Structure 1
Amino acid sequence: MDSPQSTGEMMPIFYVGQHETKRSLPVTDQILRQAQDCNYDMLTTPITTPHFHASILSLLTAYSQAHLDGSTPSSHHPMPLVPPLTPPDTPLTPNDSISQLIAFTSPWIDLASPDPLIAHLSRQVFNQEIAYAGFCGVVTVIVQGPRLHHGPMRAKGISQYARAIQEALSLGNYLQLHILMPMTDNPESESDGDVGNLARFAREDYISGHSKDGEVKVDLFGTWDAWNVIRSVCKYSSRLSVALTLPRRFPPMAIQSRWYSEPLRLLSLPATSFLVNARGSFVLSKPHQLFISRCMRLRHAPWLLLTDVGPIPGINDPDLILPFSTGTISPGAAADASSSTSSVSPSPTPAEAAQMARQVSRKSKADPTPHLSYIRYLQRNQPPRSTIERFGAGFQDFLQSPLQPLTDNLESMTYEVFEKDPIKYDWYERAIAQALRDWKSENKTVSSSTGTGFVVIAVVGSGRGPLVTRAIRASQETGVNVEVYAVEKNPNAYVLLQRHNEEDWGGMVTVVKSDMRAWKGPVLPDGSHGYVDILVSELLGSFADNELSPECLDGVQHVLNPEHGISIPTSYTAHLTPIAAPRLHADIISRSATDSNAFETPWVVMLHAIDYLATQESQQQVPSETNTNRQSQPKAEAPALPDVQTAWLFGHPCPRPILAQSNLRRGGSASGGGGGATGGDGANEHNTRFAQLTFRCNERGVCHGLAGYFETVLYDGSDGKVELSTNPVTMNQKSKDMISWFPIFFPLKVPIYVPENSEMEVSMWRQTDDRKVWYEWLIESFVTIGSRRIRLGISDLHSSKANGCLM
C-alpha cells in the first residue's frame, strides 16, 4: 500500500444544508447567497410546486367521481394521465447555481401503495420530477422513503417502490439518488402525514380495513429491511445511497451500527431532534453527538441537513448584516441537556413544541441560526483522530490486492510504510531481548564459532533492516553478545542493507543475498555451515499465513539449532467473523466488470464502514418489536464487540518428523505416497488447513463476506508472552495502535440474508498444490424451528486459486 500523506490534525469538515419541508419561495441566487453568508453550505428545493400538487389532487378527485356510481367497472377505464409540467408547476430552471441545490421529490406521493390507482399516479409524478431535475442539471435528488404501513398491511409495496427507484436511475445517468429513511420503523410517524398525501386516498378494497386496536409496534430493523430490498433490486448502484433522518430518541447501538455500515450520504436533523438545555440553547443528546462524530470519520463523510429549523435569516432584507455561524459559542450554550430533559417523548408534545417555538423566538434575537451555530460548535470540537485513523486516512474501505513477497521484489516505499509502525518493532525488540535474557539465564550453548557466548541471530527477509537494528539494540540492552545475519533476496534492498552495515551497524552484520529457503546457514571457518540460535522474521500477512510465512519458515528451518533454536514469531493464529459490508460489495461489483476474479480474491482492506453480524453478549439484546410508549432514552453505548473465532494455528519450529515426511513426498517417490490431493507431490500438504465455525446472529442482516484477522505470539518466555494482534477483540490489549497490517476481506459473490436468531456456518480451507497457496470459503445460514435445524441458504464455493500466492 502507498504511504499516506501527512495531514496533521485536520478536523472533519461538516457540510451543512438547510431544508424547509414547506419552502414557500423559489431558491433564487439571492437566497442562495444569503444562506451562504449565514454559513450554510447548501440549500434544498422542491422539484414541483403546490400548484402541481393541487392539479394532481384534482385529477384524482375527477377520476374518483367519474366512477363513484359504480355503473361501469373501473377496470374498463384507463388510468388517469398526469399532464406534462408547466412553468407554474416547478420552480426549477437550468442555471449556473442549480448544482448547488439538493432537489426533493414530492413527499406526498406513495410509490408503495397497494392501490394501483395511487401507485400509478405516484409513478407518473415521480418519473416526471426525476426527468425534469436531470434536464435542469440537478446532481443530487432526495427521495422520500417507502411508506411501510397501509392499514394493517406492513411493508407490502417495497418491491414496486424498489423497481421505481431502479427505473429512475436509468432516467438520469448522472443523478445521485438519496433515499430518505428514518432510523427505525415507527407507524406513528407515518400517520401524521399531510392531508394532501395520496396515501390517504387509497381505496378501502386495497387497504383491507382499518388498523387494528392495540399497542403500537416498532420494528427496529424495519426501515433498514426496506432499504436492503431497494438497494438489492438496484444491484448496489454507486449512485444510490441513504439520507438518514435522526430521531429525537436514539435507537440502540445495534441499529446504529447497521446504518453506519450503509452508504450514508446525508444525515437529516429535524428541529424536533434537538433538545433545550438549561441555558435555553438548542443541543443534541450525547447519542446524537457520538453517532455524528462516528459518521464524520467515514472515508466519505455524510452531509448534514438541518430541517425545519426556521427560514434563512434576512431573505426579506438582503442588506441586513448577519453574524457568521463559526461555532464559537459559550460552553454554557453548548452544554448537554439534563437527563430529565432527554427522556421526553419521541416527538414533541404540543406543549413542548410551543416551548421550542418560544425558544426559537428568543434565541433568534441573539443568534438568527442557533441550530447551525451548535452544529458548527460540534465541528470545532470533534475529538482528535486516533493513531490508526491518522495513519489510515484515505485507506478506509479501500480494496488492495495482497502482497506477493516471494515472487515480487517490494519497493522501498512499501517497506517505509511498514517501518512507520509505532508498536510492531518495539514489540519485536522486546521479544528478542527477552529471548536473549532467557538464553543467558538458562546457560544454553550457542552456535557461534567466532566468540564464546555469542548468540547467533538471523533476520530472514530483512527488507531495509529495521529488525536487524532492533536485534542489535536488544543485544546492547541485555548485555548479551550476538552474531547477526541479515538474509534478503531482494537485490535492491540488499544494496541498502550493505550501506546500513557500513554506516549504521559498524560492520557487525553479515549481509546475505539469498532466498531464505536456499540459504545454507552461517559459514564456519572450515567451510561448512553452522546453525542459527534465534530466527527472526516478519513474514506475516493480514490473515497470518496468507503471505506464505509457514512455507518460508519451513524452508529455512534447516539452519535453526535443532536443540535450543528459537523462532520469533513462535506461533500465529488466523481469525474470522462474518460482516455486513455493502460499500465493499458495491466496489467489488464495479471491479468485476474488468476483473472476473474480483469476488474470488481475498482483499486487504482497512475495514471501517462495516457491521458485525455476530457479536458478543456485551449488551442487552433489544427485541425487534417493542412498545414505543415503554421505551426509555438509551444511554450513549459503545459498539458491541464482534464474535471473532479462531480458524487455525501455525507453530514454529515445525516438528521435525513432519518436515521429514514432507521431504520424503517431494520428488514423487513411491514411499512418499500417492501425491497431493489438489496437485503436486503433496510436499506442502502439512500446511493445509480446514476450519468450520458457527456464529450466532441475534439480529437480521445481510452477510457480504468474512473479515479476517490474526494474532501472533512473538515469544513466550520467563516474563510472559510478547504478542501482536489485529483482532478487534484483543488488539487494544496486546498491541494497541499497531498499524502495519490491515484486515483481510473474503467476499461473497451473492450476499446471504440472515434472519433474527439464526446461525451462520463458515467453512474455510487453506489449500496448496506445492506451487501456490490459496483459500476457499463457503457460508451457510441456518434457523432452528422446534428441534429441527433448517438450512436457509448457501453461498457459492469461492476459491482464490487463480490469484493464489506463488511459492
Structure 2
Amino acid sequence: MSSDGYLDPESDSYDSRPQFYIGQHDTARSETLTDAQYTHVLNSGFDFVTTPITNHHFRQRVVELYKSHLQDREQWGLSDVAKTNLSLPGPVVPTLTDEDTSYGPSSYVGSLIAYSSPWIDLCSPDPIISSISRQVLNMELVYASFCGARSVIIPGPREDESSSAVMQYSRCIQEALQAANRINIIVHMPMYREPGLEEKAATLSSLLGKANGAGSSAEKEIDIFTTWDSWHTVRSVCNYSARLFVALRIPKRIPEKNLQERWFAEPLHYLTLGDHIFQQNAAGRPSLSRHHQDLIARYMRLKHYPWLILSDVGPGIEALDNLPDPMAIEFPSLAEASKALKESRKPMPTRNNYVAYMKHVERQQPPYSAMETPPLRSFQDWLQSPLQPLADNLESATYEVFEGDPVKYNQYEHAIANAMIEWKGLNKPTAQSPENSDLVVAVAGAGRGPLVTRVIRAAESTGTSIQLWAVEKNQNAYVYLLRQNNLIWNNRVTIVKTDMRGWAGPTSPSGQPYKVDILVTELLGSFGDNELSPECLDGIQRHISRPHGISIPHSYTAHLTPIATPRLFADIASRVVADPNAFETPWVTRLFALDFAAQKAPGHPRFQQAWEFAHPVEISRADQFAERHGNAVKFHTVGGGSISGSSGVNDHNARHCHLTFVCPTRGVIHGLAGYFESVLYASQVQGGTEKVEISILPDQIDRKSKDMISWFPIFFPLKQPLLFPPDSEIEVSMWRQTDDTKVWYEWIVEAYAWVGPKTRVKVGQSEMHSSRKVACLM
C-alpha cells in the first residue's frame, strides 16, 4: 500500500476509521490448535488465536510435585512447626517435556498469542505454592520466547485487598521481564471487580485444596479503582517497563467516565470481551449496548489502538475436535479418497456471529476527523524538544509544517482585517511619514511570509492602503522572502534582514524614521511565552506608534493542569541515560493517552491560568522602557535584587503562580500539561466585534479555533510519579525565571488530603524541577 493511497480519501486503500483485529480465546482450551483447527478458526473470521503454553499433563505433574514434597517432609519426621521452616529446600519444577506442551515453533506462530496458564498462583500465601508458580511462569515465558512468541498474556491478581499478595505478584512480573527479555508481557486485568464475573479457572491453591484468600465480593462495597491500584503497583515495581502492557477485560456494566479515562491512559494492548457482555438482538444475534460501543470507539482512537479478543464465543473445543484430519490416512483407498474429496467440497465455515457483529461495529465507528489524519495520529504522545527560535535558524521544512494550518492564519487575517476596519472607523492618525499617510504594518519574524500574505489579503479586502515591512533574522528565509516579493507580492514589501530586537524601525527614502501602526508577530509557543515572545516584543515594541499602535497578538495566557500519562513517563525514563535533563525538559507533544487528574469544582477549574502577557506594554515612558528592556542582553551591571550575574532588566517578564486543583478520586500524576490562549485582536469600538482568539485549551479550542493544529501542548514531567488519595487537593507552584540571557521554568507539585472538616495534611510532594540547563536562549 503506497503512502499516497493511505493519505488519499479517494483511494480504496485509505483507512477512514480504525480497523478491528479480532482474536479468539477459549478459556477451556488446554492444547495448541492443530493446523486444521487453526485454519478453521481463521476461516470463521478471526485474525489471530490465543494458545496455552503448557497443558493439563504439565499441570498434573506440578500438582504431584507439590504432594510428593509434602510426603517427603512427612518422611523426614518434621514437626508441624518445622514444616514451615523456609530454610528447608523447596521443590524445583523439572524441565518441560514434549508431553507437557503441544505449543512449538510454526510458520504461523506470529498469529498465535501465547496465554500463560491461568492456574498459576503467584499470590498464594503458601510460600511453596507461590515459589512453584513463579518457576512455572518463568519456564512458560522462556519457552514461549524460544518458540518465537512476541508477547505473552498473563492473568492478573485475582483480588486486590491484600497488598502483600499484589506486591508478591508484582515482584514475580519484574523477574519474568528479566527472565524472558525479548518478549512483551501483557497483564490481563478486569476494568473493575464486577460481582459475579470473577475468574472461574481453578488455581494451584484450589487444586491442592488450599484457600486462596479471596473473600466474597457480594459482601463488599465495590471500589471500582482497586484493580487500577493493583496494576499501578505492578508497573511501578517494574519501573514502567516499555515491555509491560495491559489486556483489559471489558465488564458487562460500563463504569463511570473517570475510570474509563484512567484506563485509556494506560498502555493498552488488548481489549477482551467475554460472551457474557453481549446481548441478543431481535434477530437472536449478539449485540453490544451503546455504552460498550462508545467505549470501544473511544479506545480505538489511540495511535496504537488495542486489538480485540473475544472469549468463549466459538468455535469451541468440541467443534474443533470433530474436524476431519487430512493427515489421518497417509495412503487412502479409493473409497476413502472419494469420501475425503466429498468432505473437502463442503462449504467453508460461515463467519462467526460475534465476529460478524464486531465488523458491523467497526463500520459504525465515526470516520477519522480533520484532526486525525495519519500525520497527526503519528504525533500522538511523541516527544519533541521545544524550539530555540532565537538561537537557531529554522529549516524550510519546519516553516512548511507551520504554514499547513489554515485555521491559524485565517484567524490572524480576521484579526488584521478587524484592526484595519476599526482604525478607519475611529479616524485614528497613521504613523507620520513624510512621503505618505498609509497605514504602516510590520510583520516581525516573517519566516517564509505567510503572515505577509495575510496582511496583503486583509488590506485588499478592507480597501486599506498600507506600507508593509517584513523583518526576519534567518538569512536563508530572507532569500525566500526576496523571491516571494518578486514573484508573488509585486515588490510591495520592504524586507529587512535583522533580529527584530535590533531593528531601527521603518525609515523613509530620505532616512527619516517613523513608527509602526500595526505590528504582527507569530512568536507564540505551546505555553504562550515559552518561545520568548515577551522578550522579542520588548525589543521591537518601541517602534509602535503611541497611543494608537496595535500589537497582534494583543495578549496571551498560559494554563496548567496535572495529568497522568504513563506512556510519556516511561518514554522519558528511557531517555535519562542518554539525556540526564530529560525529566527537567518541558516537552512539546500532542498529548493524547492521558488522564486528567483534576475535576472541575467551584473556584477550581480543571484548567487554570498561570499568568498573562499583554502588548504593547502600557506605560507612560514607553520609549525609555523599550530602550532599556528591549536591549536587555547589552546590560551587565548586576542589580541588587536580580539573579546573580544579571542586570535584572528582564525581571518584568518573570512570573509565578500557585494553583490548587481538586481531585475527588485517587490517582497518580506524572506531570503538568501546559496550554495557551491568545487574544489576537480585541475590538476598540464599544459594542464592536467580538475578540478574535486562538486557543489550544481542550475545553476551548473547538469554540475559539476549531481544528487548529499549529501548536501541541507542552508537558512538564515529574521525576517520580506522585500518588494521591481520594478527595485530595493538588497544589502546583511554577516560576518563569530569567537572568537576561535565557528563560527557564521551575515547578513543584504537592498533594494534600483532607482528614477533617477544616484539617488537611500533606501526603506527597515532588522534587523541585528546573529547566535552566535546557533554557530558551535570548
C-alpha deviation, 1:413, in angstroms: 1.2
Looking at structure 2, the residues matched to 798 and 496 of structure 1 have their Cα atoms a distance apart, in angstroms, of 41
Q: Say if 1:165 and 1:248 are closer, same or farther in 2 by CA, change over 3 A.
A: same
Cα distance between partner residues in 2 of 1:677 and 1:199: 68
Alignment of 1:693-708 (within 5 A): 693-708=659-674
**Are 1:281 and 2:281 counterparts?**
no
Deviations 1:758-800 (A, max 9, x none): 0111111111111111111111111121132211111111111
Q: How far is 1:451 from its partner? A: 6.1
CA distance 1:694–1:678, shift in 2 (3 Å): farther
Task: Confirm whether residue 162 of structure 1 aligns to residue 177 of structure 2.
Answer: no
1:89 aligned residue? 100
| Aligned equivalent of 1:733, options 681, 690, 703 | 703
What whole-Å deviation, never above 9, does each CA across 1:532-558 have from its counterpart, x for those lacking one? 000000100000000000000110011
Residue of structure 1 aligned with 2:739, choices 769, 781, 785: 769
Matching residue of 2:331: none
Distance 1:94 1:684 in 2: 67
The 1:669/1:416 distance shift into structure 2, 3 A limit, reads: closer
Residue 524 (structure 1) aligned with residue 528 (structure 2): no
Deviation at 1:155, TM superposition (A): 4.2
Report the Cα offset of residue 146 of structure 1: 0.9
Query: Unpaired segments of 5 or more residues in structure 2?
Result: 327-342
- Rounded Cα–Cα distance in structure 1 between residues aligned with 2:114 and 2:572: 30
Are the aligned partners of 1:678 and 1:768 in contact in 2 as well (CA < 8 Å)? no
Rate the CA distance shift 1:749–1:431 in 2: closer, same or farther, 3 A: same
Shift in Å at residue 473 of structure 1?
1.1
1:300 to 296, 299, 304: 304
Q: Which residue of 2 aligns with 1:592?
A: 576
Partner deviation per Cα, 1:574-594 (whole Å, 9 max, x = no partner)? 000000000001111111121
Aligned to 2:359: 376
Q: What does 1:437-586 align with in structure 2 at a 5 Å threshold?
A: 437-447=421-431, 449=433, 453-586=437-570
Matched, 1:791 2:762: yes
Which one of the candidate residues 419, 423, 427 is aligned to 1:435?
419
Post-superposition CA distance 1:698-746 (Å, at most 9, x none): 1111100000000000000031200000011111111111110000000
CA contact (8 A) 1:675 1:681 kept: no
**Aligned twin of 1:412:** 396
Q: Given the alignment, which residue of 709, 725, 728 partners 1:758? A: 728
When residues 212 and 385 of structure 1 are mapped into structure 2, their CA distance, relative to the original with a 3 A threshold, is closer
- Residues 1:233 and 1:211: Cα distance change in structure 2 (over 3 Å): closer
Q: Deviations over 1:322-379 (max 9, x none)?
A: 988xxxxxxxxxxxxxxxxxxxxxxxxxxxxxxxxxxxxxxx9xx4401111122222
**Letter matched to residue 729 of structure 1:** D
Where does 1:303-382 land on structure 2 (aligned, <5 Å)? 303-311=307-315, 316-317=323-324, 367-382=350-365
Q: Which amino acid aligns with 2:676?
A: F
Match of 1:113 in 2: 124
Q: Distance in 2 between matches of 1:214 and 1:238?
A: 36
389 and 642 in structure 1: CA distance in 2 versus 1, 3 angstrom threshold: farther
Which residue matches 2:113? 102
> What is the distance in 1 between the residues matched to 2:669 and 2:446?
39
Q: CA distance change for structure 1 residues 213 and 763 in 2, over 3 Å: closer, same or farther? A: closer
Aligned in 2, Cα 1:582/1:685: closer, same or farther, shift over 3 Å? same
Q: Contact between 2:118 and 2:155, CA under 8 Å: does it hold in 1?
A: yes
Which residues of structure 1 form unaligned runs of 5+? 325-363, 619-640
Distance 1:119 1:585 in 2: 31
Deviation at 1:448, TM superposition (A): 5.2
Q: Does 1:53 find its partner at 2:59?
A: yes
Q: How far apart, CA to CA, are the structure 1 residues paired with 2:734 and 2:361? A: 45
- Aligned partner of 2:246 among 237, 242, 247: 242
Match of 2:200 in 1: 193
Distance 2:246 2:704 in 1: 37
Query: Could you say which residue in structure 2 is the equivalent of 1:692?
Result: 658
Q: Find the counterpart in structure 2 of residue 654 from structure 1.
A: 617
Find out whether 1:75 has 2:103 as its counterpart: no
Are the structure 2 counterparts of residues 256 and 642 from structure 1 closer, same or farther at C-alpha, using a change threshold of 3 Å? Answer: farther
Residue 7 of structure 1 and its aligned partner are, at CA, apart by: 5.6
For the 8 Å contact 1:102–1:142, the answer to whether it is kept is: yes
User: Could you list the per-position Cα deviations for residues 14-54 of structure 1 after superposition, in whole angstroms to 9, with x for gaps in the alignment?
Assistant: 22111111115422333333333333221111011011222
Q: What is the deviation of 1:65?
A: 6.4
Change (3 A) 1:681 1:114: same
Q: Aligned AA for 1:184?
A: Y
Does the aligned pair in 1 maintain the 2:45–2:352 contact within 8 Å? Answer: no
Q: CA RMSD in A?
A: 2.6
359, 371, 378: which one aligns with 1:388 = 371
Query: 2:444 touches 2:520 (CA, 8 Å); kept in 1?
Result: yes
Aligned to 2:259: 255
1:748 to 698, 718, 735: 718
Match of 2:772 in 1: 801
C-alpha change, 1:599 and 1:213, in structure 2 (3 Å) is: closer
Q: Indicate if the aligned counterparts of 2:542 and 2:627 stay in contact, CA closer than 8 A.
A: no
Whether the 8 Å contact between 2:538 and 2:626 is mirrored in structure 1 is: no
Residues 576, 477 of structure 1: alpha-carbon distance in 2 compared, 3 angstrom cutoff: same
Report the Cα distance in structure 2 between the residues aligned to 1:235 and 1:108, rounded to whole angstroms. Answer: 26
Measured at CA, do residues 131 and 549 of structure 1 come closer, stay the same or move farther in structure 2, by a change above 3 Å?
A: same
Q: Tell me the TM-score normalised to structure 2 length.
A: 0.89
> 1:388 & 1:369 partners in 2: Cα distance?
35
Counterpart of 1:218 in 2: which secondary structure? coil
Tell me if structure 2 keeps the 8 A contact 1:692–1:761: yes
Answer whether contact 2:639 2:646 (CA < 8 A) is retained: no
Contact preservation (8 Å) 2:30, 2:56 = no
Look up the match of 2:330.
none
The letter of the residue matching 1:93 is G
The match for 1:715 is: 681
Q: CA deviation at 1:70?
A: 8.2
**Cα–Cα, structure 1 residues 513 and 664, in superposed 2: closer, same or farther, change >3 Å?**
closer
8 A contact 1:771–1:806 mirrored in 2: yes
Q: What is residue 136 of structure 1 aligned with on the other side?
A: 147
Distance in 2 of aligned mates of 1:214 and 1:581: 33
State the 1:521 CA deviation. Answer: 1.1
Q: TM-score, normalised by structure 1?
A: 0.86
Q: Which amino acid aligns with 2:103?
A: L
**1:610-659 Cα shifts (integer Å, max 9, x gaps):** 000002259xxxxxxxxxxxxxxxxxxxxxx9700000000000134587
